[in-house]
């Protein structure tokens, strides 16, 4: 199958959606499919052979974060050229409601379109206000995917219709086989913690973790915290209490290999995110690497951790509760070992071998449905005007596009 994947967010500063698109593309390439990814990127950004840049992006505030997007007439021409040259059997756009190349591809594609909704924002006035404008484009989507129940409810609340829930995927084998490194490895008397995320983005929760660290250090004085991710580390360091500053190392952007090794080394992974999360892919990565997880009690995180659960949780935005829960976890080696084993098993539910198969099933469904609609429309006699066949084709197209068929 010839597959076109559209990522609205820039590959200059990778995030969850970019990783999802990249890994999905590489999985399908290994299976022998022809795959091309369209995404924003600066000219000097190293890109895999299968990624086509539509030009540099600009920062835009979106869903409590700063997304780097690309839009405009020149970009629209590049999107159309990519679609023409690709001759795709299916075009898979991500975050189709953002003002980005996803919207442009959705408007220009003549191939069947599948869309994945990643965002969880149940009270979005912007989505409600924009609905009359985006409704005609939404009707062009033949297959809808949401990465979580939260993302699905965002879609059903603001747009209507429904979507199949297929979670983000993780190469669990890559994280499972990562080897611990001595400089990051924790011990009972000297535990280590990891945080991965954009350090300047409040909803990622680093300020909550920083506020909890004095109490954690009072209970476990030799604790070390490793922070990996983009952002102004110098400014972040200045905001830390002296003892916390001494115990914290900012690693900056790390490679996938280093991230996996970090997660395989630490005594616990901490996810203090405060909101705006529809899934929690870093939790799956940590579990796959064997790290016990301590996460805020966001609904999306609770669903990832499962009924077991595969981690411990604390009250969202409550540093005192975070310190208590994490302190108890660091005190209990048996619990950490249990969480590590259960988490590794739970992570398999999100492996690409399962997730990509479900996505491919959506592709095949919409391609077959699109062919059926085309056959019905082709059988309509243009001399006699629209007949029952044309009406049924229109009805079927709408049903598919709304996730109802």
CB 313 within 8 A of CB 295: yes
Which tokens hold the place of 250? 């900012």
d(CA 62, CA 9): 11
pTM score, two decimals? 0.82
Q: What is the DSSP letter of 42?
A: -
Same fold, 2-169+353-401 and 172-349: yes
Dihedral over alpha carbons 62, 257, 173, 171 (to 10 degrees): 20
Q: How confident is the model over 158-182, as pLDDT tens digits?
A: 777 899 999 999 999 999 999 999 9
Q: How confident is the model over 289-320, as pLDDT tens digits?
A: 999 999 999 999 999 999 888 999 999 999 99
Alpha-carbon dihedral sign for residues 356, 357, 359, 363? positive
- The per-residue pLDDT for 393 is 45
What is the separation of C-alpha 378 from the centre of its chain, rounded to a whole number of angstroms? 39
d(CA 86, CA 288): 35
d(CA 195, CA 270): 6
What are the extents of the domains in the chain? Answer: 2-169+353-401, 172-349
Q: Which of 399, 370, 377 is nearest to 111 (CA)?
A: 370
What is 172-349's CATH number?
A: 3.40.50.2000
Ramachandran quadrant class, 32 (left: phi over 0; alpha: psi -120 to 50; beta: rest):
left
Say which CATH superfamily domain 2-169+353-401 falls into. Answer: Glycogen Phosphorylase B; (3.40.50.2000)
- The per-residue pLDDT for 395 is 45
Contacts of 259 (CB under 8 A, 6+ apart): 196, 228, 285
d(CA 158, CA 121): 10
Q: How many helices (H) and strands (E) does the chain have?
A: 16, 15
Dihedral over alpha carbons 67, 68, 74, 78 (to 10 degrees): -100
Q: Biggest alpha carbon distance in the chain?
A: 84
Angle at 94 between CA 73 and CA 377, to 5 degrees: 80
- The per-residue pLDDT for 379 is 74
Residue 239 Cα distances to 212, 236, 248, 252, angstroms: 13, 5, 12, 17
Q: Which of 244, 200, 197, 253 is nearest to 225 (CA)?
A: 244
Crossing angle of helices 281-289 and 16-30, in 10° steps, is 60
Q: Which of 35, 73, 28, 76 is nearest to 52 (CA)?
A: 35
What is the separation of C-alpha 231 from the centre of its chain, rounded to a whole number of angstroms? 19
Ramachandran quadrant class, 373 (left: phi over 0; alpha: psi -120 to 50; beta: rest):
alpha
CB 113 within 8 A of CB 83: no
User: Which residue is it, tokens 């098993």?
Assistant: 345
Q: What is the DSSP letter of 66?
A: E
Residues β-bridged to residue 93: 6, 115
d(CA 399, CA 382): 24
Low-confidence ranges of the chain (pLDDT < 50): 122, 388-393, 395-396, 405
- The per-residue pLDDT for 11 is 87
């Amino acid at each position: 199958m010839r597959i076109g994947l559209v990522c609205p967010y820039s590959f200059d500063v990778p995030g969850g959606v970019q990783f999802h698109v990249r890994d999905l593309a590489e999985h399908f390439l290994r299976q022998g499919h022809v795959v091309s990814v369209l995404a924003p990127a600066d000219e000097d950004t190293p890109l895999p052979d299968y990624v086509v840049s539509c030009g540099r992006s600009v920062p835009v505030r979106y869903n409590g974060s700063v997304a780097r997007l690309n839009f405009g007439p020149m970009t629209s021409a590049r999107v159309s050229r990519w679609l023409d040259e690709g001759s795709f059997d299916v075009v898979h756009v991500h975050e189709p409601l953002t003002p980005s190349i996803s919207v442009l591809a959705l408007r220009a594609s003549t191939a069947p379109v599948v869309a994945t909704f990643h965002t969880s924002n149940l009270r979005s006035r912007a989505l409600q206000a924009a609905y009359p404008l985006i409704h005609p484009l939404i009707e062009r989507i033949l297959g809808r995917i949401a990465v979580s129940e939260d993302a699905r409810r965002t879609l059903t609340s603001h747009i209507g219709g429904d979507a199949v829930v297929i979670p983000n995927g993780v190469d669990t084998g890559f994280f499972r086989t990562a080897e611990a490194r001595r400089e990051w490895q924790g011990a009972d008397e000297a535990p280590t913690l990891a945080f991965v995320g954009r350090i300047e983005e409040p909803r990622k929760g680093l300020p909550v973790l920083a506020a909890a660290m004095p109490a954690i250090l009072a209970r476990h004085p030799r604790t070390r915290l490793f922070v990996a991710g983009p952002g102004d580390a110098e400014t972040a360091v200045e905001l830390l209490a002296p003892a916390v500053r001494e115990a914290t190392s900012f690693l900056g952007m790390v490679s996938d290999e280093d991230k996996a090794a970090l997660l395989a080394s630490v005594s616990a992974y901490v996810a203090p995110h405060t909101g705006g999360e529809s899934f929690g892919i870093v939790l799956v990565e940590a579990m796959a690497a064997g790290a016990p997880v301590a996460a805020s009690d966001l609904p999306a995180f609770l669903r990832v951790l499962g009924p077991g659960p595969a981690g411990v949780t604390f009250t969202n935005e409550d540093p005192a509760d975070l310190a208590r829960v994490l302190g108890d976890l660091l005190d209990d080696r048996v619990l950490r070992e249990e969480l590590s084993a259960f988490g590794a098993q739970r992570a398999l539910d999100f492996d690409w071998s399962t997730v990509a198969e479900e996505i491919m099933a959506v592709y095949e469904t919409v391609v077959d449905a699109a062919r059926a609609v085309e056959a019905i429309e082709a059988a309509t006699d243009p001399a006699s005007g629209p007949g029952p066949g044309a009406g049924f084709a229109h009805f079927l197209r709408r049903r598919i596009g709304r996730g109802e068929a």
